[in-house]
Amino acid sequence: MARNPVELAGAQPGPPFEITFDGRAVTALPGQSVAAALWSAGILAWRTTRVGGRPRGAFCGIGQCYDCLAIVNGTPNRRACLVPAAPGDTITTQEGHGHADLGV
């Protein structure tokens, strides 16, 4: 049975809009978090670890684990599971702790 969450919930969201992830256009719906919009587009990782550069994405989905950190509109260390997606948002993969330019 191939049904999506919008159908299951009987939701009628407003019109979709675009955000970008590493230069790629991604469709988002009103009310979605950045993480949910990325998941919907099949993107599961948007951060790499400081040691080893291993990919990370959302883990807990409620803002407690910090695995979903991303650069949102130029600001590093934003928890993608808590940031509402907005038209025109630019999401960039975060490498490590997000403060490479500060020498931390």
pLDDT above 90: percentage of residues in the chain: 58
Q: Rounded mean pLDDT of the chain? A: 88
Specify the pLDDT at position 104. 42
CATH architecture of 15-96: Roll (3.10)
Which tens digits make up the pLDDT trace of 41-91?
999 999 998 888 898 898 888 889 889 999 999 999 999 999 999 999 999
pLDDT above 70: percentage of residues in the chain: 91
- So where are the chain's domains? 15-96
How far apart CA 87 and CA 77 sit, in angstroms, is: 20
pLDDT at 27 over 70: yes
